[in-house]
Chains A and B, each alone.
Chain A
């Protein structure tokens, strides 16, 4: 598709339950990124993929968060044993492979999944 598609738009879970978010990147884009926006203007990078391989997971809380990008499937971000502090909007972005060394391709964002932990 021409847009990054994130599902669901809203997800409500009780504390301790599992939450799973999905992202379909733009067709032909090799890179996928996940970000968390907790307060209005504060973004936190979580993880990035090059195709199905993890590229950078320095932002991932390793204990409860996991992510995958498998061939022919939407990418997913899963949170086990959710906590109140996981309430946030989670954004997925994708970008094209650039040509040449040092290319700096824009990231295209979805509209996010709003996760509410009660």
Chain B
């Protein structure tokens, strides 16, 4: 499975935008870029995914580089509830493909 590289941690201030980077230089043409997050004592939660174009949903935006070798998850206004571990995952196409989690990035949000 293709690998992703994320910083270990990031801090942000409440109500400010957060940009979480992810590098995936070995991505293949059929890999989707998925983001999940895990809040303390909970299971992972789907955030967003995309293939080539930038994507927006109610939780976040996903900006994908033109060469698809990197992407950025954007939280437009961080809240304390957004403090979590965020995982950038490359997922081969297909509804039943497993998720291969890396170590993720721990986001801390300061009040």
Contact = CB atoms under 8 A, between A and B. Distances in A.
Given A102-B30, A112-B43, A107 B93 contact: no
Interface stretch (B18-26, B62-70, B71-79, B97-105): B97-105
Given A48-B96, A104-B91, A109 B43 contact: yes
A111 interface: yes
A10 B93 CA distance: 34
A102 B93 contact: yes
29 contacts: A4-B43, A31-B96, A35-B99, A35-B101, A40-B85, A41-B101, A41-B103, A42-B101, A43-B99, A45-B98, A45-B100, A59-B98, A91-B43, A91-B44, A93-B43, A93-B44, A96-B95, A102-B93, A103-B95, A104-B32, A104-B49, A104-B93, A104-B94, A106-B34, A107-B44, A107-B46, A108-B46, A109-B45, A112-B43
Interface of B: 30, 32, 34, 41-46, 49, 85, 91, 93-101, 103-104, 106
Interface of A: 4, 31, 33, 35, 40-43, 45, 48, 50, 55-56, 59, 91, 93, 95-98, 102-112
